[in-house]
Structure 1
Amino acid sequence: MEIRQVTTDERVTTTFPLQAYAFSPSPGPDDEAERYQRRQRFFTTATSFVAEEAGETLAGAASLPMRQNVRGLVHDMAGVAAVASHPSARRRGLVRELMTRLLRHTREQGCAVSALYPFRPSFYARFGYVGIPKTRKARFAPEGLSELLRRDLPGSVQRLPIKEGFAAYEALEHRLLAHRHGFAVFDETRSAEFREEKAWVALARVDGEVVGALRYRIDGHGGDLLGSSLFSTGPLGRALLLQFLARHVDQVSAIEVYLGADELAELWGTDMTVTTSAAVDSPTHNAPMVRVLDVPALAGSRVGRGGITVEIVGDDLIGGVWQFGADDGQLTVKPGGVPEATLTVGGFSALVYGALDPVEVFTRGLGDLDAEAMERLGVLFPTRMPYMFADF
C-alpha cells in the first residue's frame, strides 16, 4: 500500500469515484465525471492524498485552503474534505494513515487550525477534533416582519444576480472574518464557484457601505425563499435585510435563513412565528469539528487573564508542555515548565475555540484537571460562541 499526493487532474480518476460513491446518489448520471472535471478549476489549490494498492485507489482525503478567525486572530486553516474509502478497503486503517499524513502536511504548509464536517464525530475525535455549535436555520412567514415595513430605515437594499453582486458579497465576508470568532472563508480559487450559482444576492447599504448581505433563491410562487447565511455588520444591516424579506409577503409563504448559534430570530418582530433549529444526525447532518495544529501560532489571541502550564498529551503535532499567560488580554505561549493540568488535544482545542467550559472538558474526559486548574483555565480561556457559517 502506497500513500501519495495527487494533482488536481488526477483527482478525477482517483478520489472522485470514491467520494461520489460515498456521498452522492449512486450510480450517478452518465455525465457525472465530466461535470466534476469541469469543476476542477475551483480545486487547483486543494491538497489531496490517496492510498493505493496494486494501482487501485482505495482511499482519499483532501484539504481546502481556508482562513479562520480564532479569538481575534485570523489563521490559515485546513478545511478537511472528501474523506472516503472503497467499501472493500474500509476498517483497514487507510483513512487513519491519510489523515495523519494530511494534517502533518497542512501544518508544515502553515495551517494553525483545521476544521471539517464529520461523517462520524467519534472517529474524528481520535484525531483531536472537537465539536463546535452548528449554524441554526430560522424558518418564518414574512408576515412576522410586517412592522418593519412601517419603518423608514436609513439605508437601502439592492437585489442583484450573484454574478454581479459577488464581489461586494465576498468583501463583506472578509470584513466579518476580521471581527467574528469562528468565521471562516475559502480562498479565491474555491470561492469563485459560488459566483456561478443560480442565485440572487441582496446587499444592504448605508451611506454607500455594504452592511448586510444574503444569497437566496425562490423555489416558486407561494413557495419558499431559501436563503444562505444572513450576514450583517450590526443590527441596522440585519434590519434592512429583514425589511427587504418582509416585502415578499404576497410572493412566498415561508422564508429560511441560516444564523449563528447566538442569534435570536424570535426577537426580530413582535408577532414573529419562527422555528429555529439545528438538527444533528449522523452521517449527513453533523455539527462542525475543529482542532489546533500549531500552539505557538495562537500567541496574541484575545483571552482573559492569569496563566497556567499545561501538558497536551496523545498528539504528535502539538503534544508537550506549554506555558500560557495573558499580556494585556493577549495570549502568551512558551514551551516547557512544570505542568499544572493535563489536556488532550481535543480538550485544548475546545478551550481555545471557547466551545466548552473547563468543567465540561473534565466531565467529557478531555482533560485531567483539579478545581484550581479549572478555575484558572476558565479565566484565561472564557467561553465564546464560535460561528462557522454554512451556506446552501
Structure 2
Amino acid sequence: MQLRQLIADEFEANIELLQYAFQLKLDAERLANKRRNFKAEQFWGAFEEGSLKAQLQLIPLQLYVQGRALAMGGIANVSTWPEYRRHGHVTQLLVRVLRHMRENGQSVSCLHPFSVGFYRKFGWELYTDYKKYTIETANFPPRVATEGYVVRVGADIPLLARVYNNYASRYNGTLARDEAWWGKVLKLGSVVVYFRPDGEPAGYILYEIEKRVMTVHEMVHEDERARRALWTFIANHDSMIDKAVLEAPMDDILPFLLPNPRISQEIMPYFMARIVDAPAFVQQYAFGATGERTQISVQLIDPHAPWNEGVWHLTVAEDGRGTLAPGDPDENGSADLACDIGSWTAMLMGYRRPEELYGCGRMDGTEDAVRRLEAILPKCQTYLLDYF
C-alpha cells in the first residue's frame, strides 16, 4: 500500500469515490466547480497498484483556544470503496496525517465523526455540543425598543469578521475564519447587523426563510442589548413565519429569558478534537495565572502518535505560561496523573474538567494532583459555528 497526497491529474478518482461514499449526484455545473477548486495537496490517498482505495482531506485551519488562534488540521471527506473497508486503509491514513500535521506545526486536529466510537480509537474525543432550539412565534422573546439600529448588509466580510472574531475568541474551539471561508459561510443566507448608537457593530444573524420557517444559521451578539435587538428583528417576521430554528452554545440562557420557556431544546454532540503535538499545544496554551509555580507529572497514553506517549512534566509559571518536558522512562507508572490523549484533549479544550475525568475513571492519579490541575485550568465554554 502507498500513502501519499493526490496530484492534480487524480481529480476523477477523487470525485468518483466522494460521490459514491457520500451518495452525491453532482450536475455538470457543480462538477466543473469542484474541478476548478480541487486542491489535490489537501487529499491523502491509500493506493494499491496505482488505484485509489481510500482517502481523506486535511484542511489547514485555525482554531481559537483560550483566545489564541492555533494552527489546526481539519479532517474531512474520509471515504473508502466498500470492498476495501476494514482493511486498515483509513487507520494508516489517519496515522500518516497525524505525523504530517505535527511536521507542519498543527498541534491540534478536529473532525465531524460519522461514528464517535470509531475516531475515539485513534485519539479524537468530543469537544463541543450545541443546543438546538425550535421556537414557535407565540413563544418568541418580547419585542423591545432598543437603542441602535439593525441594517441588512451584503457580503461585507470585514464588518462581519469584526463582530465574529470578538464573539468567537471568547470560546474554545471556534474557527478563526479567513476571507475564503467567509465566502462559503455567506452562501447560507441573508445577513442583518445590529449597530450600537455610536455606529459600532455588535451583533448579526445569518438566516433564511423557507416554508414559513426561519432558520438562523448564526446568531452572534456581543452583549444583551445586541441580543434583544436581533430577537426583535426576528419577532417582526411573525406574519411570515410559524417558528424559528436556531443553534446556540451550551452556556446560552435563552429559555430562562423567555416568558414561556417550554420550547423544544435538543442537545447535539458535535465535533471531536485531538491534540496532535502535546508539548507544542501546551506551549501555546494560556493557563491560569495563579501567582504560583505549579509542577505535575503526567503519563499520556497515545499509541497512534508515539511522540506523545510516556511521562511528561507539566510546569506552569506564575504568569500562566506552560511547558511540557519529557520525563524519564523509568517514571512510567509513577506519574502524578495518567490519561489517554483523548481525555487530555477534552480537558484542555475545556469540554471536561479534571475532577470530572478523575471521577468517571478517565484519569488516574492522586486527588492532590487533580486539585492542582483544576487550579491552573481556566474555565471556558466550547463552541463551533462551522462545519467541514
Distance in 1 separating the partners of 2:133 and 2:10 = 37
Unmatched tracts of structure 1, length 5 or more? 281-286
Can you list the C-alpha shifts for 1:254-282, whole angstroms capped at 9, x where unaligned? 011111111122033323552221245xx
**1:385 paired residue number:** 381
Whether the 8 Å contact between 1:343 and 1:366 is mirrored in structure 2 is yes
Helix, strand or coil at the partner of 2:308: coil
Q: Percent identity?
A: 24
- One-letter amino acid matched to 2:103: E
**1:303 paired residue number:** 287
**1:64 paired residue number:** 59
Which runs of structure 2 are paired with 1:359-374 in the superposition (5 Å)? 359-362=355-358, 366-374=362-370
Superposed displacement of residue 41, structure 1: 5.1
Whether the 8 Å contact between 1:58 and 1:85 is mirrored in structure 2 is yes
Helix, strand or coil at the partner of 1:249: coil
Worse overlay, 324-333 or 247-256 = 324-333
Can you list the C-alpha shifts for 1:178-224, whole angstroms capped at 9, x where unaligned? 332221134433442334x262011111122221111111003xx10
TM-score by length of 1: 0.86
**2:3 paired residue number:** 3
**2:119 paired residue number:** 124
1:205 has 2:195 as partner: yes
Worse overlay, 207-216 or 300-309 = 300-309
Superposed displacement of residue 157, structure 1: 1.1
**2:147 paired residue number:** 154
Helix, strand or coil at the partner of 1:185: coil
**2:94 paired residue number:** 99
Can you list the C-alpha shifts for 1:130-178, whole angstroms capped at 9, x where unaligned? 1123222111123333522xx32121111234xx344422332233343
Which runs of structure 2 are paired with 1:131-280 in the superposition (5 Å)? 131-145=126-140, 147-148=142-143, 151-161=144-154, 164-195=155-186, 197=187, 199-206=189-196, 207-220=198-211, 223-279=212-268
Aligned pair in 2 of structure 1 residues 146, 121: CA closer, same or farther (>3 Å)?
closer
Aligned pair in 2 of structure 1 residues 382, 178: CA closer, same or farther (>3 Å)?
closer
Helix, strand or coil at the partner of 1:330: coil
Helix, strand or coil at the partner of 1:83: strand
Whether the 8 Å contact between 1:200 and 1:217 is mirrored in structure 2 is yes
Whether the 8 Å contact between 2:66 and 2:169 is mirrored in structure 1 is no
Worse overlay, 205-214 or 321-330 = 321-330
- One-letter amino acid matched to 1:155: G
Aligned pair in 2 of structure 1 residues 391, 131: CA closer, same or farther (>3 Å)?
closer
Superposed displacement of residue 44, structure 1: 3.7
Aligned pair in 2 of structure 1 residues 56, 364: CA closer, same or farther (>3 Å)?
farther
Aligned pair in 2 of structure 1 residues 116, 317: CA closer, same or farther (>3 Å)?
farther
Distance in 1 separating the partners of 2:31 and 2:241 = 34
Whether the 8 Å contact between 2:64 and 2:176 is mirrored in structure 1 is no
Superposed displacement of residue 100, structure 1: 1.0
Distance in 1 separating the partners of 2:249 and 2:10 = 34
Distance in 1 separating the partners of 2:31 and 2:13 = 12
Q: CA RMSD in A?
A: 2.5
Distance in 2 separating the partners of 1:19 and 1:329 = 48
Whether the 8 Å contact between 1:182 and 1:387 is mirrored in structure 2 is yes
Superposed displacement of residue 360, structure 1: 3.6
Helix, strand or coil at the partner of 2:382: coil
Can you list the C-alpha shifts for 1:330-385, whole angstroms capped at 9, x where unaligned? 24114134532222111211211121222443465543323223222222335532
Whether the 8 Å contact between 2:217 and 2:246 is mirrored in structure 1 is yes
Superposed displacement of residue 84, structure 1: 0.8
Superposed displacement of residue 292, structure 1: 1.1
Distance in 1 separating the partners of 2:342 and 2:365 = 14
Aligned pair in 2 of structure 1 residues 368, 43: CA closer, same or farther (>3 Å)?
farther
Superposed displacement of residue 65, structure 1: 1.6
Unmatched tracts of structure 2, length 5 or more? none
Helix, strand or coil at the partner of 1:192: helix
Aligned pair in 2 of structure 1 residues 186, 40: CA closer, same or farther (>3 Å)?
farther
Superposed displacement of residue 301, structure 1: 2.7
Can you list the C-alpha shifts for 1:271-302, whole angstroms capped at 9, x where unaligned? 3552221245xxxxxx2110112223432533
Aligned pair in 2 of structure 1 residues 169, 52: CA closer, same or farther (>3 Å)?
same
- One-letter amino acid matched to 2:201: V
**1:313 paired residue number:** 301
Whether the 8 Å contact between 1:212 and 1:233 is mirrored in structure 2 is yes
Distance in 1 separating the partners of 2:338 and 2:85 = 33
Whether the 8 Å contact between 1:46 and 1:64 is mirrored in structure 2 is no
Distance in 2 separating the partners of 1:56 and 1:4 = 12
- How many residue pairs get matched? 374
Whether the 8 Å contact between 2:300 and 2:310 is mirrored in structure 1 is yes
**2:326 paired residue number:** 336
Aligned pair in 2 of structure 1 residues 239, 366: CA closer, same or farther (>3 Å)?
same
1:24 has 2:19 as partner: no
Moved over 6 A (4+): none
Distance in 2 separating the partners of 1:198 and 1:71 = 28
Helix, strand or coil at the partner of 2:145: coil
Whether the 8 Å contact between 2:188 and 2:217 is mirrored in structure 1 is no
Helix, strand or coil at the partner of 2:106: coil
